[in-house]
Structure 1
Amino acid sequence: MEKKFANIPVKDLNDNVFKQIGDDWMLITAGDQGNFNTMTASWGALGILWHLPVAFCFVRPHRYTFEFMEASDFYTLCFLEDQ
């Protein structure tokens, strides 16, 4: 079964990204279906740049995930709900 990404308009997001990134952390994943890596992170941002929505994070070159990000056109930032 093929899985697809869901497109969520950024203006539909109502979460506190300062809490999510800084306190709750996020997951950064890069790669493809057969070869990928995920890491936790508590640095990055969501915002508007030149009238466009942007998301960014910083990954040090010595982190294993870095090579996956460099080889990929896309990466994901995941925020999990409190349980």
Structure 2
Amino acid sequence: MANINLKEVKFTEVLNDYINLFPKGAFLTTKQEDKINTMTMGWGNVGYIWGKNIIMVPVRKSRYTHQLIENSNYFTVSVPLNNQYQKELKFCGTKSGLNYDKIAELKLPLYKTELTDVPIISGNDLHFIAKIVYKQDMKLENLSQDYQNKNYPEADMHSFYYGEIIKVYQEV
């Protein structure tokens, strides 16, 4: 595991900038037993639901990450705010964990926090540690036809995982 310096920050300190968190890509990391996988997410949501700070991450059912997150209670999101890891984000967004050990292949440095055994990827600027509190599969019939045509022409739908943010870290 990597050796890094983390500073705990209040969620509200980063909430105002959440709209800029995902369009450049972020690493969603999950773990089931001894299998760790990360994937690139280009969208998601951060907000306040049920009186808690929540991060929602979408995962297509066809993805290897879906298998792992379905059998986990936690996930982490590591966000490179300064354009680092662009090659790695591209790789993790186009290769499956079924065929590649992305972490080993890219030599991504992992760091285990004290809160969960799902690691964060060091070298990123911002990290969310989240405990899954709700999940739901999308229903194609509930989605606007315009969005269906543009985003789901083959009906490869997402599951949404809502995680209570239990810690937010900035690397220092």
Aligned partner of 1:52 in structure 2 is 52
Matched positions, count: 80
- Structure 1 residues 68-83: aligned runs within 5 Å: 68-82=68-82, 83=84
- What one-letter code is carried by the residue in structure 2 that aligns with 1:39? M
Please, what is the CA RMSD of the aligned residues? 2.6
Cα drift, residue 20 of structure 1: 1.8
Partner SS for 2:59? coil
Kindly indicate which of the two structures has a greater share of residues assigned to strand: 2
Amino acid at match of 2:20: K
| Equivalent AA in structure 2 for residue 48 of structure 1 | Y
TM-score of the superposed pair, with normalisation by structure 1: 0.78
1-side partners of 2:37 and 2:47: how far apart?
25
Larger Rg: 2
- Partner in structure 1 of residue 13 of structure 2: 12
Contact (CA 8 Å) 2:32, 2:69: kept in 1 or not? no
Distance 1:34 1:54 in 2: 26
Counterpart code for 2:26: M
Aligned residues: percent identity? 24
Q: Where in structure 1 are there 5+ consecutive unaligned residues?
A: none
Please list the CA deviations of residues 29-66 of structure 1 after superposition, one character each: whole Å capped at 9, or x if unmatched.
Answer: 00057311000011110000132110011101110111
TM-score (norm 2): 0.40
**Gap regions ≥5 residues in structure 2:** 85-172
